[in-house]
Amino acid sequence: MSDSLSTELASLRIDRGAPASSASPSSASRGSSSSTTTSHEGRRRRTIAKVLAGTMAVVALGAAAVVSARPLLASWQRPKVRVTEIATVVGGAQAESSLTATGYVVPQRLAKVGSKVQGRIVRTLAHEGDAVHRGDVLFELDPTDLRNELVSAGARIEVARAKAHVARATVAETQRTLARERKLAATGAVGTATAEDLEMREGLLTSQVAAAEAEVKAAAAEAARIRDSLHDMRVLAPIDGVLTTKPLEVGDVVTNETTLVEIVDPASLMVEADVPEARAGTVKPGTPCELVLDAFPTERRRGQVVLVGPRLNRAKATALVKVKFVDEVPELRAEMAVRVGFLREELDPAKLREPPKTVVPQSAVATRDGQKVVFVLRQETVRLERVALGESLGVGSVLAEGPPVGTRIVDDPSPELMDGQKVKEGDK
């Protein structure tokens, strides 16, 4: 009996997870139902957790795809970029400069020499590069045909004068006969019919005299025209200047629409530069300038604004500005390229002797992988080039190493701009 009781006591265990309740059948049924509900709740929570985990994985993959696709999308797009360029300055000119631009030397007085008459050139008296004065003979045309025409016109004049002389003589004779017939008719010796006929003849002959005299005048006018044309067979220089094109050669046939040669007045040479519309208001007549010819990149020259164009270029959104050279430039030629710096103050002549410096605008310098770079624009494609910078000069920095002067670069490049990307030039 005691052994059986000990065995039963050892088999007893305390279920600490079960709720404290009586051991009645109804309590046991409720405990079973609670366990089942807890099991379903756990499975539901696990399902929700799996769904959330899957959703988060999809979102992460999408974000990664977007990040990896950004370079590809950027390569497809063609963003607008502003363009500036690497320039040379002297001393502190960059600090004094409010605007820079590029332009060309353009003559304000240009003559395209032509001929008033048609003919063949028999002499060319000037050559390309020659300096000429107004009235100098440049070409002579063959006058043979016009001289022959002048001889014919002279003959026509003589014939017309002879006709007029005969007509006047005939009128005089008719007038004498008419006077005699009138006297006889007054005495009754003859009738009046003859006198009346003579009066009509006199009127006709007088008209013939007038026609003959008009023919003389017409022939004389034709001869005068031919003589003027003979004078025009010598083509003269219309202005003082230099021949900038190759003249036509002996044997060339010209008309009144043919350009024989072009003459440029060197004293009228000025720089014409395009200034962005947004900055045109900062440039006014009288504004001092610094001019650098591409042909002489180490030489600085003083300039002054003469005219700001009254009309803007809609396609380029620029205003035309004309700048004159303050000092004489003997080697100046038409169509030379020029870099213009519009200054806030008159350039000190002492600075003209300072060595030039290559400057890049600070706004065009970007940082990529911890290095200073610029984006060079070549035919609507940007290329990344590393640069080494020196001291600061106003809004620019001295370029110790990088692209050459005159290179067009992107101003204020965006962080998304990449090497080799296609772009469009314009305001952002």
279/297 same-domain check: yes
User: Does 13 map to a domain?
Assistant: no
User: Does 17 map to a domain?
Assistant: no
User: Does 216 map to a domain?
Assistant: yes
243/387 same-domain check: no
48/151 same-domain check: no
Contacts of 267 (CB under 8 A, 6+ apart): 109
Q: What angle do CA 304, 346, 343 make, to 5 degrees?
A: 70
Q: Can you give the pTM of this predicted structure?
A: 0.53
215/286 same-domain check: no
The pLDDT, as a whole number, for residue 29 is 45
36/123 same-domain check: no
User: Does 5 map to a domain?
Assistant: no
The pLDDT, as a whole number, for residue 24 is 46
CATH number of the domain to which 406 belongs? 2.40.30.170
271/398 same-domain check: yes
Mean pLDDT throughout 160-169?
86
Instruction: State pLDDT tens for residues 351-373.
Output: 666 677 788 999 999 999 999 99
Mean per-residue pLDDT over the chain, rounded: 81
331 lies in which domain range?
A: 80-109+266-425
- Beta-carbon neighbour count of residue 335 at 10 Å? 10
Mean pLDDT throughout 301-326?
92
Mean pLDDT throughout 92-100?
59
User: Does 12 map to a domain?
Assistant: no
Mean pLDDT throughout 397-409?
90
Structurally, how many domains does the chain consist of? 4
335/220 same-domain check: no
Q: Any idea which of 136-145, 197-206, 312-321 has the lowest mean pLDDT?
A: 197-206
Q: Any idea which of 117-131, 171-185, 210-224, 237-251 has the lowest mean pLDDT?
A: 171-185
The pLDDT, as a whole number, for residue 323 is 96
Mean pLDDT throughout 71-79?
59
Mean pLDDT throughout 90-96?
50
User: Does 159 map to a domain?
Assistant: yes
157/193 same-domain check: yes
Of 223, 244, 263, the domain-final residue: 263
285/401 same-domain check: yes
The pLDDT, as a whole number, for residue 20 is 45
**What sign results for the dihedral spanned by CA atoms 281, 398, 304, 344?**
positive
Element (H, E) at 291: strand 288-293
